[in-house]
Amino acid sequence: MTEFKSNDGFSISRRSFLKTFWHERAVAATAQMEAVAKELEKANAEKVLGPEPLPITLQINGQTDEGAGRTRMALLDVLRDICR
C-alpha cells in the first residue's frame, strides 16, 4: 500500500485518508439532514389541519361565495355545497 510521508514524519495511506474523508462527509451530511428534518417537522406541526371543516372563499364569475369544507372533499362537492 502506498504511504505518503511528509517532512515532519507524519505518514498516511491513501486508503486511510479516503476512509477518514468519507466518514467525515457522511457525519456532516447526517447532521445536516437531521437539522432540515427538524425544521420541516416544526413547519408542518404549525400547519396541521384537523377533521373540522375549513373556511373556504370562492370567487366564480365575479360572485364571491363563502362556506366550509372538509380537508378531503372533492372540488365538485365543494362547488355543490357552497355555490347554491
Contact (CB, 8 A) for 17 and 24:
no
pLDDT for 80: 82
More confident residue, 19 or 51: 19
pLDDT for 46: 66
Least confident interval from 1-5, 39-43, 51-55: 1-5
Mean pLDDT calculated for residue range 44-62: 76
Mean pLDDT calculated for residue range 55-65: 85
Mean pLDDT calculated for residue range 41-59: 75
8: alpha, beta or left? (left if phi > 0; alpha if psi -120 to 50):
alpha
pTM above 0.85, yes or no: no
| In the predicted structure, residue 1 carries a pLDDT above the cut 60 | no
| In the predicted structure, residue 39 carries a pLDDT above the cut 70 | yes
Contact (CB, 8 A) for 22 and 46:
no
Helix or strand run (H / E) with residue 65: strand 63-69
Calculate the CA dihedral of residues 35, 37, 42, 45 and round it to 10 degrees. -170
